Amino acid sequence: IDIKNLRTATNGVITLDSGYKNTGSCESSITFLDGEKGILRYRGYDIEELAEKATFLEVAYALIFGDLPTKEQLEKFYADIKVQSVVDEDVKKIVDAFPKSAHPMGVLSSLTSALTAFNPSSVNVKSEEDMYKAICKIMGKFPVLVAWTMRKKQGLPLNYGSKSLDYVENIMKMMFEQPNEPYVVNPIIKDALDKLLILHADHEQNCSTSTVRIAGSSHVGLFASLSAGISALWGPLHGGANQAVLEMLEAIKADDGDTKKYMAKAKDKDDPFRLMGFGHRVYKNFDPRARIIKKAADDVLNDLGVNDPILAIAKGLEQEALNDPYFVERKLYPNVDFYSGIIYRAMDIPTDMFTVMFALGRLPGWIAQWREMRLNNEPIGRPRQIYVGETLRSFKSISER
Ligand code: ACO
């Protein structure tokens, strides 16, 4: 088959695949996913092993550059990131201009796009070296934007990290540091956060990643492509599900913990309500990330001594769904977002920041996919359509309509 020719000459034949359920958009060596068997691997490494043994920065390196780093490679990468872990002071003015009520995902997407103005050299990358510089910049600056987004909402002063902490510890310091109190890293939270970020780090051609790739395929820069991806992630059918899950669990709790009522609503085709955190486009047996997170939620709550009735409601819902023909027939199982919110809550992260935490985890995946797309010289993404509108009509002046 002449693949190149197929790209342009359709000979009148166009495949219609709404939502691209069966359409591959690229070749990729980053993430392997088998939805039937529940397998997820980054660069060939199994997700369970990575979540157990690796740090988030090691995983980020592997996703972006293809292999786990040596000690020297990791040290250099982190040193190059640390130099970039500041943002222009004028960005603070932009942060301050947002109302406190602004949703953090809208703020984060805007701030990420605003970085293009302060880092013009990262906009038009021409070489692998340019790419590397842009990557280190965003790996350094993105956690600052995340922390500032949260701190602004909480009325806390905007701060910076510390050069002596590791990547994830630094994120924690920037997010949780209180004025006039030395920040001490809680190793249990650090461990859980490393895991959560690793589990969210990539997931092949999902909605936000495809958005990053398709925006980037026009050769707009990395930061603008990421900003588009953040907006795509925000939706409740994608990354916004983690916030929606917690709000749903809260609603059930306020409704006397009546899980049966919500199960019935989810099954009622006249009711738009869906059980948030259930179902996945690709995983049709179980989401391997959900298994790891469920255990992590148990561990974190135990370790921190938190007794959260929301966890009991979540477990109850999962049990009911597992025994309900509607959910079984449609292969609807808890996804990664079903339990992540419970952990974020135990960490004192506000509910509307949950999707921002997802974005923080997904950052290296988006970067890796953007880099791969550029290195492969992929053509601009431009789907076709089947036109179903009016045939030719003649214009009528407004008085005749
Ligand atoms: N609750 C109730 N019914 C559901 C749910 C749910 N959460 N998810 C799917 N269904 C039903 C649909 O109504 C449909 O039923 P039908 O065959 O009788 O019409 C069937 O299951 C198939 O659902 P689709 O929407 O066609 O599946 P799709 O692959 O398009 O959607 C999605 C996947 C968006 C994840 C969906 O399951 C959903 O909306 N889940 C809730 C939101 C959520 O948790 N999103 C997070 C996804 S994971 C992530 O982004 C990290």
pLDDT digits (tens, 9 = 90+) for 309-365: 888 898 889 899 999 999 999 999 888 888 898 899 889 899 999 999 999 999 999
**More confident: 284 or 34:** 34
Test site for ligand 1: of 206, 332, 340, most ligand atoms within 8 A of the Cβ: 332
Ligand 1: does its nearest atom lie under 6 Å from the Cβ of 233? no
Whether residue 137 has pLDDT greater than 60: yes
**Interval between CA 287 and ligand 1 midpoint (Å):** 14
Does ipTM surpass 0.85 in this model? Answer: yes
Whether residue 1 has pLDDT greater than 60: no
pLDDT band at 308 (very low <50, low <70, confident <90, very high): confident
pLDDT band at 220 (very low <50, low <70, confident <90, very high): very high
Ligand 1: does its nearest atom lie under 6 Å from the Cβ of 216? no
Ligand 1: does its nearest atom lie under 6 Å from the Cβ of 108? no
pLDDT attached to residue 6:
56
Q: Which residues pair with 41 in a beta bridge?
A: 32, 46
Distance CA 371, CA 143 (A): 20
pLDDT attached to residue 383:
92
Would you say 236 and 244 are in contact if contact means Cβ atoms under 8 Å apart?
Answer: yes
* Mean of pLDDT values over 254-260: 93
* Mean of pLDDT values over 178-201: 93
Instruction: Look up the pTM and report it.
Output: 0.91
Amino acid of residue 209 = T
Residues labelled catalytic: 280, 337
Whether residue 204 has pLDDT greater than 90: yes
CA dihedral (289, 295, 298, 301) in degrees, to 10, reads -60
Ligand 1: does its nearest atom lie under 6 Å from the Cβ of 38? no
Ligand 1: atom nearest CA of 280 is 35
Would you say 116 and 221 are in contact if contact means Cβ atoms under 8 Å apart?
Answer: yes
pLDDT attached to residue 5:
57
pLDDT attached to residue 7:
55
Q: In Å, what is the CA distance from 213 to each residue of 235, 282, 369, 377? A: 18, 19, 7, 12
**Interval between CA 237 and ligand 1 midpoint (Å):** 8
Average pLDDT, the chain: 93
Distance CA 9, CA 11 (A): 6
Euclidean distance between the first and final Cα of the chain, in Å?
50
Would you say 313 and 249 are in contact if contact means Cβ atoms under 8 Å apart?
Answer: yes
3-state secondary structure of 30: coil
Would you say 335 and 280 are in contact if contact means Cβ atoms under 8 Å apart?
Answer: yes
**Interval between CA 22 and ligand 1 midpoint (Å):** 16
**Interval between CA 333 and ligand 1 midpoint (Å):** 10
Judged by phi (left if over 0) then psi (alpha if -120 to 50, else beta), residue 286 lies in beta
Ligand 1: atom nearest CA of 338 is 44
Q: Checking DSSP bridges between strand 39-42 and strand 45-46, what pairing results, if any?
A: antiparallel
Distance CA 76, CA 258 (A): 53
pLDDT attached to residue 8:
61
* Mean of pLDDT values over 19-34: 95
Ligand 1: does its nearest atom lie under 6 Å from the Cβ of 264? no
Amino acid of residue 43 = R
User: 12: number of CA atoms within 13 Å, CB side?
Assistant: 0
Minimal CA–CA distance to 261: which of 252, 270, 271? 252
* Mean of pLDDT values over 191-196: 94
Amino acid of residue 247 = E
Give the residue whose CA is nearest to atom 27 of ligand 1.
Answer: 281
Distance CA 343, CA 354 (A): 10
Test site for ligand 1: of 330, 331, 338, most ligand atoms within 8 A of the Cβ: 330
The DSSP result for 242-299, as a single string, is: HHHHHHHHHHHHHTTT-HHHHHHHHH-TTS----TTB--SS-SS--HHHHHHHHHHHH
**Interval between CA 279 and ligand 1 midpoint (Å):** 5
Ligand 1: does its nearest atom lie under 6 Å from the Cβ of 336? yes
pLDDT attached to residue 77:
98
Whether residue 298 has pLDDT greater than 90: no
pLDDT band at 185 (very low <50, low <70, confident <90, very high): very high
